[in-house]
Structure 1
Amino acid sequence: MNLTYTKHDAVGIITFSRPKALNALNSEVLKELNTILDKIEASEDIRVIILTGEGKAFIAGADIAEMQGKSEQEAKAFSSLGHDVMNRIEQSPIPFIGALNGFTFGGGLEMALSCSFLLAAETAKFSAPEVNLGLIPGFGGSQRLVRAIGLNNARYYLYTANMFDATEALRMGLVQAVYSNEELMDKAMELAKLITSKGPLATRTLAAVVNCGLEKGFVAGCNAEQEAFAYLFNNEAQEGMSAFLEKRKPQW
């Protein structure tokens, strides 16, 4: 097994567990991740997922040993597999928290960018090093990094392959918080449990509306928001508003 999966109430934790390979992504890892996601979606009892890595890396990139020697057709298939997995995470109705415990390079940065939001250990390091290999990102990084940190910042790090640290990642808005290595997972779990305390249907609906705007544009996103806002009034919003007025916790 290249990944481990544990469940804590409504929070699932997926850990990339190839520490000797710095958790590098290969086809087997991506397919295994898809299988875990299938099981999570089928169970319908997980409301937040945390992604993290074992050892000193979150994910140190794609597995160059597997990539070397691929034909153009095989490279396209590998890229397509990566895109499918990253798109699935980004478009999931379940929020994904990336707990970036160490090296977050190449495919690892692309995996992080597909998450809903990111927390980093203070020792985490980031890089898009593909041009060092005569390549470009293959799992959506050229598009998501621009959205995450802005056009010029993204161009700078994509073209130079320069590494940056957690402080710089926070400054650019790539990560939402930086913690010590020791407290990273506790803080990730704390955030996950905060999200699970909110309206479950509202959370899932919000994910769909945000993704609609990203994929189809501002007007389509606003139209989707209006429809979803109204829909929630016939569902859990009544309990949420009643609980607020009655000064009690909602019973979702």
Structure 2
Amino acid sequence: MICLDYIRDASGVARVYFNRPSQYNAMNTALMQELILLLQELVKEEDLKLLVLEGRGKAFMAGADIVEYARFSESDFTQFQSTSARIYELIEQAPFPVLAAINGFAVGGGFEIALACDLRVAKPAAKMGLPEVKLGLIPGGGGTQRLIELAGLSVARELLLTGRLYSARDMYNRHLVSEIIEEEVWENRLGEIMDELRVIPRQSIKKIKALTSSALLHESFTQRLNREAQAVNELFNTPVATEKIQSFVQKK
């Protein structure tokens, strides 16, 4: 891989680094093709416990490569958007947790990738935002909708209409970043979070992600509660749950 670094450890944790540091890891066609092919393989792996996305250099991902954008035909642009939408979908529907480790700039499509992840942590110096309005465009990777779901309509409109870049603290205050991690303890704290997430049984992860999916929001509250009840009943009788419960009892 040219635009990505992929590291897989023995504990079942995969770390994918966007690796175009001189271009602030801007999302071009080559990077997207590598990423979609990798994600399509990773979601099939039964022993994968956790995926961490991060950037090399000063950026997580600085959005679309505007130099490449300027050369696009209308059909090129449509294909680019279709590929990016599939990437966000694969991340969101992955049968394992996906953590965005935002080490620097997460802008435009790069921030939309982070929004598709299950959890987002950031370094204090990270900057995030959706500046597409300044190009006469709007976010095309689900940013308008995921922002509403994650932070509410008022915050979504603020970010979308101003196109500003916000600090990690700003995003933490808006509930879009769950934790700010200082530079000097970045790797140690990431390791703790990875250890916490990788031991969660996949069957629980899949049920939680399904039950909290935006696709269910059209259903009534009662319907969603019924789905939850059905899911927990299905899990209770599985070998994994039985073993975990017995192990807990034996420790008492």
TM-score (norm 2): 0.92
Aligned match for 2:81, one of 75, 79, 82: 79
Do 2:96 and 2:202's aligned partners in 1 also have CA atoms closer than 8 Å? no
Map of 2:98 onto structure 1: 96
Q: Which moved more, 1:194-203 or 1:228-237?
A: 194-203
**1:194 positional shift:** 0.7
Letter in 2 for 1:60: A
**CA RMSD, Structure 1 to Structure 2 (Å):** 1.7
Report the Cα distance in structure 2 between the residues aligned to 1:62 and 1:193, rounded to whole angstroms: 32
What amino acid maps onto 1:71 in structure 2?
S
d(CA) in 2 for partners of 1:212 and 1:132?
28
Q: Deviations over 1:141-185 (max 9, x none)?
A: 111112222211111111111111011111111010001123223
Per the TM alignment, residue 188 of structure 1 is displaced from its structure 2 partner at its CA by 2.2
Question: Is 1:230 the equivalent of 2:233?
Answer: yes
Residue correspondences, number: 248
Question: Which 5+ residue runs of structure 1 have no aligned equivalent?
Answer: none
- Map 1:44-123 to 2 at 5 A: 44-123=46-125
Deviation at 1:47, TM superposition (A): 0.8
Q: 1:239 aligns with which of 223, 240, 243?
A: 243
Question: What stretches of structure 2 of length at least 5 have no aligned partner?
Answer: none
- Runs of 4 or more, structure 1, over 4 Å off, are 212-216
Report the Cα distance in structure 1 between the residues aligned to 2:216 and 2:167, rounded to whole angstroms.
27
| Conserved 8 A contact 1:5-1:15 | yes
Determine the C-alpha separation between the residues in 2 that align with 1:22 and 1:86: 20
TM-score when scaled to structure 1? 0.92
Q: Deviations over 1:27-59 (max 9, x none)?
A: 221121122123323332111111000000000
Amino acid at match of 1:120: A
Quickly say closer, same or farther: Cα 1:62–1:203, change in 2 above 3 A. Answer: same
Spell out the pairing of 1:183-198 with structure 2 (5 A cutoff): 183-198=185-200
Choose from 135, 144, 147 the match for 2:146: 144
Cα distance between partner residues in 2 of 1:13 and 1:114? 16
1:189 CA displacement? 2.5
State the shift of 1:216 in Å: 4.7
